[in-house]
Amino acid sequence: MTTTTPFQDIKPQRPWQASTKDKSVTLGIFILSVALAYGVVLFTGLSGKLGMFSSFVFIFVFINSGRSYLQFGSAMAKDSLVNILVAVGTFLTIIPIASILFEVFSKGYKGLYPGLFYRDMSLNSPNDPANVGGLGHAILGTVLLVSIALIFSVPIGILTALYLTEIRGKFSRPIRFLVQAMSGVPSIVAGLFILSAILYPITKNNSSFLGSLALAILMIPTVARTSEEVLNLIPNDLREAGVALGGTQWRTVAMIVVPAAKSGLLTAVILGIARIAGETAPILLVAGGGDRYNYNPFNGPMGSLPHFIWNSFRSGTPESTARAWTGLLVLLVIVFVLFAIARFFGNRKVGK
């Protein structure tokens, strides 16, 4: 038995989308613009890729807007003009990012080998080929530096955010201003501060603990600002409901507000880590660098990935330059993974 479905003659359509004819006209304009731009480069003073690109954009915008104007009038012409400008802006933004990624991957992948991740550089000179030695000490250093910085900056950052969103005390405004201003502090200022306030007068010795303090100074504003934004998204209804059930403010915050904001607060912490993982200046000044494993965060110089990269580039030999690119690759991958995790948690609806 065959079932006859009603309306089977009617096909779903999308009349609001560009038709094949429209698309071919646009393609034609595109090709024409490329040809004209080539001609412009050939016969005028403009030259090179930049000249080609800019004359192409100019010609394409001109022809496309003209076509919209003839077809629909001036409002649509402006619309298509702005559309193209936005697309060009996006394209220009992607160029440097894509070329950085391409450069790092193409130069860095050669140095990847298993030993890279557990050996250190204590027995190697910059002239050694890229497949001896490694950056295990730098990874360990980065992990220790970031972990200890986390211990300081996560509680302080989140408590600051709670003060700004929950207590809203008299000092909210100046503190919010300070936090915002601090997030623009150059990292070398944090490094110099720890150097002059603690290292010279008190410890007189490099240690990764001091590096972590400097990194914490940089991380607190990031954690505090992001956490504040997340906590502000929690509906006020929930706070009122908690208090109306006989909870004190502290219990309401701890049992309802913070759990509801959990994933967002985690994102804040990960963004904070990504902010400091690539910092070089404080490491140079107070953690001291170093090319061997150091398991004691309170004594002796400690390496880190950014320091490893800086040091390898500075040596100047082709082998160590290759090693620097590999270090860059490892650092970039770590930061990208952290951002991906942050996106994953941040995209989940707040409160879910």
Partner 1 sequence: MTTENNGDQENMETTTTPSSLSSVASASKRKVVNTKAMGTGLEARGVHAWFGNHHALADVSLDFAAGTVTALIGPSGCGKSTFIRTLNRMHEFIPSAAMAGQVILDGKDIYDPSIDVTKIRLQIGMVFQKPNPFPSMTIGENVLSGLKLAQLKTENKDDLLEECLVKAGLWNEVKDRLNAHGGSLSGGQQQRLCIARSLAVRPQVLLMDEPCSALDPGSTLRIEETIEELSSSMTIVIVTHNMQQAARVSDYTAFFLSDGGPGQMIEMAPTSEIFARPRDKRTENYVTGRFG
Task: For the beta carbon of residue 98, count every other beta carbon within 10 angstroms.
Answer: 10
- For the CA atoms of 202, 205, 209, 214, the dihedral, rounded to the nearest 10 degrees, stands at 70
Nearer to partner 1, 242 or 288 (CB): 242
Which pair of structure tokens corresponds to residue 58?
């100019």
Binding site for partner 1 (CB under 8 A): 168, 235, 237-248, 251-252, 255-256, 259-260, 262, 351-352
Of residues 93 and 248, the one with the C-beta less far from partner 1:
248
204's tokens = 């007189």
Whichever of 115 and 259 has its CB closer to partner 1, that residue is 259
With respect to partner 1, which residue has the nearer C-beta, 182 or 254? 254
Distance in angstroms (rounded) separating the CA atoms of residues 125 and 121: 8
Q: How far apart are CA 312 and CA 347, in angstroms?
A: 38
Residue 109, token pair as written in the block: 């992948």
What phi, psi does 129 have (nearest 5°)? -65, 165
Of the two residues 119 and 239, which places its CB atom closer to partner 1 in the complex? 239
- Identity of the residue, 78 or 168, whose beta carbon is nearer to partner 1 in the bound complex: 168
Q: C-alpha angle with apex 282: 156 to 184, nearest 5 degrees?
A: 60
Which one, 10 or 244, has the nearer CB to partner 1?
A: 244
Alpha helices per DSSP H over the chain: 20-43, 48-72, 74-108, 136-162, 172-182, 187-194, 208-233, 236-244, 249-252, 258-260, 262-277, 281-282, 305-315, 318-347
> Which CB, 242 or 327, lies closer to partner 1?
242
Smaller CB separation from partner 1, 185 or 245: 245
CB of 343 to partner 1, least distance (A): 21
Q: Kindly state the smallest distance separating residue 248's Cβ from partner 1, in Å.
A: 6
Q: Give the nearest distance from C-beta 217 to partner 1 in angstroms.
A: 32
- The CB-of-178 to partner 1 minimum distance in angstroms stands at 22
Spell out the long-range contacts of 151-156 with Cβ–Cβ below 8 A and sequence spacing 24 or more.
151/212, 152/212, 152/213, 152/216, 152/220, 153/215, 153/216, 153/219, 153/220, 153/223, 153/272, 154/223, 154/269, 154/272, 156/216, 156/220, 156/223, 156/224
Does residue 342 contact residue 334 with C-beta atoms inside 8 Å? no
Give the shortest CB-46-to-partner 1 separation in angstroms.
59
Question: Residue 249 Cβ, how far from partner 1 at the closest point, in Å?
Answer: 9
Q: Which residue from 231, 223, 298 is spatially nearest to 267, judged by alpha carbons?
A: 223
Q: How far is the CB of 246 from partner 1 (least distance, A)?
A: 4
Q: What angle do CA 96, 101, 107 make, to 5 degrees?
A: 120
Joined together, the tokens standing for residue 62 give 């001109």
CB of 167 to partner 1, least distance (A): 12
Is residue 288 classed as helix, strand or coil in its secondary structure? strand
State the nearest-atom distance from the C-beta of 168 to partner 1, in Å.
7
Residue 229 beta carbon to partner 1: minimum distance, rounded to whole angstroms: 18
User: Among residues 195 and 230, whose Cβ is nearest to partner 1?
Assistant: 230
